[in-house]
Amino acid sequence: MKSIVIAAPHSGSGKTTITVGIMECFRRRGLTVAPFKVGPDFIDPGYHRLVTGLPSANLDGWICPPEFVRASFAHHALNADMAIIEGVMGLFDGFGGTADEGSTAQVARLTGAPVVLVVDARGLARSAAAILKGFAEFDPSVRVAGVIFNNVAGDSHERILREAVAQALPELKVFGCIPRDDGLHIPARHLGLFTAEEHPLSDKFLDHLVEVIRDRVDLGLLWGAANPLDAPVPRAEPIPCRTPAGPVRLAVARDEAFCFVYEDNLCLLRRAGAEIVTFSPLRDERLPDNVAGVYLPGGYPEVFADALAANAGMKESLARAVNGGMPVYAECGGFIYLTRGVVDGAGTPESLHEFVGIFPVTTRMLPRRKALGYREVELAADTIIGPAGTLARGHEFHYSEMEEMPADVERAYRVRRGPVDLGMEGYRYRNCLASYVHLHFGSNPELAASFVARCRSYATRSSA
């Protein structure tokens, strides 16, 4: 199995578009491509899934232990012809300034995959070689195999770039030079790109992208360079978790409004004994039959507020489940869906889009980002995802702001950002636990085991 990491010196270099194009090119050649994304992002993996037909797993060395990153990579790459890992931010950017935890470089080292840098050449000529030299020599344990230049102005610009690299770094391969092309931009909104569930990539767009990649990138040279390093190839051992006998049905919201879920969270839930049953809060009138728990992941409930508010049947079904003691776990957008609702920019009562109403607050969208960053959570009480003292890691990213939660609503999380204590969060009502933090169950697989165990206990009591 071959593998490469597609990285960049900084965000905005074009690595998502180029990654998607390379994946689609190899897929059209009949190859099985296993996609991955470094970091906690949800949107890029959706595009990977769209073109490869396979789920894209997040690999994050700060959120998850190194052994889990290796196991996840091996598990999802099993039987693939090629694993393509899209990086995050700049190659060496991670949690801090003195170590590479959470960086693309760390994942490249853990997986043994060589790095292809996507360099935005706009405004660069020979200086591009200096940038590449710095990245190639910064960490000898990370092998930079070559470069794809993006936003190349023309033939003369391409010639200068290639000559500069050949002189300064003759061992580094120039895999291609992609011209400036406004037709290669993927639409974006406040949390980044539009989600794959909203189908922003038309057949026309993909055909054009593939044509550009085929014409401007030497895919044969790239295929030849995508050999793993000398580091031991991770073994495809099962992702660790307890697997009790007999499945328990767990309803997971999956539609355009709720699509931000880590693939390994679902894997760990299955390995803990869950039978995943997906449903749509946008279109389904009630929860699936015979489920013993609900997982409401994040997404864009504010974008689909009218449709969610109009679906009275689903709101009533969820409220009955929560009030009946069913284990319900909600993150970010799923949390917002369990509040009284979302208000429009004016913030007037008349602008309220009414949601489920489990938590007695409203949410409003802000013109600027409210929160972004890694989070570590310590459970302050026994919950459906673990006992008091349990530690887990995840990420928070949103443009929304809630009213202050009433004091009588229990807080179950102590949240930290590195050494900074961010206070108490993780709101609980009966067996419903909701938070703005997206937890990655790979940070502590006992989260999935505990949640499924609580669902199993609920199913046993309900059938007695």
DSSP 375-430: EEEEESS-BTTB-TT-EEEEEEEESEEEPPPPTTSEEEEEEEETTEEEEEEEEEET
Contact 17, 182 (CB under 8 A): no
* 124 φψ region: left (φ > 0), alpha (ψ -120 to 50), beta (else): beta
Contact 328, 356 (CB under 8 A): no
SS3 255: coil
Per the annotation, the verdict on 332 as an active-site residue is yes
Residues sharing a CB contact under 8 Å with residue 54, sequence separation 6 or more, in sequence order: 32, 33, 34, 35, 48, 76, 80
Distance, in Å, from the CA atom of 121 to the CA atom of 131, rounded to the nearest integer, reads 11
Does an H or E element contain 253, and which?
A: strand 248-253
SS3 78: coil
Six token digits for residue 27: 């897929």
Helix (H), strand (E), coil (C) string for 167-199: HHCCCCEEEEEEECCHHHCCCEECCEECCHHHC
Question: Side-chain half-sphere of 51: how many Cα atoms within 13 Å?
Answer: 33
Q: Output the CA torsion 242→107→225→44 (10° steps).
A: 80
Contact 81, 2 (CB under 8 A): yes
Burial zone of 65 (CB within 10 Å; 0-12 exposed, 13-18 middle, 19+ buried): middle
Distance, in Å, from the CA atom of 47 to the CA atom of 232, rounded to the nearest integer, reads 30
Query: Residues 167, 214, 160, CA angle at the centre, nearest 5°?
Result: 25
Residue type, 33: V
Report, as residue numbers or ranges, the catalytic residues. 332
